[in-house]
Amino acid sequence: MHAIAIHGGAGTLAPADLTPENERAYRAGLERALRAGFAVLDAGGTALDAAVTAVQVLEDEPLFNAGRGAVVAANGLHELDASVMDGRDLRAGAVTGVRHVRSPIELARLVMERSPHVMLAGTGAEEFALEQGLQPVPNSHFATERRRLELERMLQGQIEAGRESLMGTVGAVALDASGNLAAATSTGGMTGKKWGRVGDSPIIGAGTYAANDCCAVSATGHGEFFIRAAVAHEIASLMRYRGLDVADAADEVVMQQLVRLGGSGGVIAVGRDGRIAMPFNSEGMLRGAMDSRGLFKTGLLRE
Ligand code: ASP
């Protein structure tokens, strides 16, 4: 069996802003990414290729906070984070604070596959990108009017920092027909972030984790809390050491541990049996799931 789940962030939309046109656009974007990732699996491709493919579709789609359409930091720039993990051998790659890399998830994968490291930051990561032959893009490539206005409103105190509407991330988890799991996550972080702030998305074990013996997880939400709860790895641990299935493990972390800490957001997770869980404790989480048994769904708010 094969399966894929994706998310487009827990904070991208305020329920009040969800017009029918918005809803259609979000669902269409999610569906494109889902189908692109699923097609890789259907053709016998790996979970890693499927997860990265789905995330790249979302990075290029300006509706989501990753790649084009990423939020704006306090310095007026887009500073992007991404990470990927291959459940076959626990290899992982991550980048943080990159400004000129069109697809941060592609660079994270290159870090995993072509460097001896797991995480590269800022200018060093960009130097590596150039060495790997990636064509740099101007920082304005990521800009959208909506995100510029959000920063302005935040700086004027009209929206509080940390509000869900200022967040968002994209991610994908996949199980391929050979039983391999992979997870990928990419984000612009949080609107108005400063001092080189890094959230959970590029942190292996917090925003991203995959291991063939249990599950693949990609998170979205208020990153500081997700780091403290080591969310993605905690879900794997509950499966390994307490024997929980993927749905119970993800629920325990998102609906109990994170809630106790005060962290809002959610995760997508797929178990090695192909079961998919997509719990969130925020008002909404853009999400979708598809598997070889005929499952197809997308969702935006609570059902
Ligand atoms: N987790 C991301 C961060 O804290 C934001 C999000 O997923 O909404 O950077």
Distance 223 CA to ligand 1 centre (A): 5
Q: What is the pLDDT of residue 157?
A: 83
Cα separation of 99 and 124, whole Å? 11
Specify whether 169 is catalytic.
Answer: yes
276 lines ligand 1 (CB under 6 A): no
169 lines ligand 1 (CB under 6 A): yes
Token pair belonging to 105: 């998830």
How would you class 145 by CB atoms within 10 Å of its CB: exposed for 0-12, middle for 13-18, buried for 19 or more?
exposed
pLDDT digits (tens, 9 = 90+) for 24-77: 999 999 999 999 999 999 999 999 999 999 999 999 999 999 999 999 999 999
Cα separation of 93 and 179, whole Å? 21
Atom of ligand 1 nearest to the CA of 190: 9
**Active site residue: 96, 169, 185, 220, which one?**
169
Q: What is the pLDDT of residue 12?
A: 60
Q: What is the pLDDT of residue 159?
A: 76
Residue partners of 237: CB distance under 8 A and separation at least 6 = none
Q: Are 294 and 8 in contact (CB under 8 A)?
A: no
pLDDT digits (tens, 9 = 90+) for 85-117: 999 999 999 999 999 999 999 999 999 999 999
Distance 222 CA to ligand 1 centre (A): 5
Q: Are 96 and 121 in contact (CB under 8 A)?
A: yes
Distance 272 CA to ligand 1 centre (A): 26
Q: What is the pLDDT of residue 163?
A: 61
Confidence bin at 162 (pLDDT 50/70/90): low
Whole-prediction pTM value? 0.97
Percent of the chain at pLDDT > 70 equals 96
Specify the residue with its C-alpha closest to ligand 1, atom 9: 189
Higher per-residue pLDDT: 203 or 303:
203
221 lines ligand 1 (CB under 6 A): yes
Q: What is the pLDDT of residue 103?
A: 98
Distance 44 CA to ligand 1 centre (A): 32
Confidence bin at 156 (pLDDT 50/70/90): confident
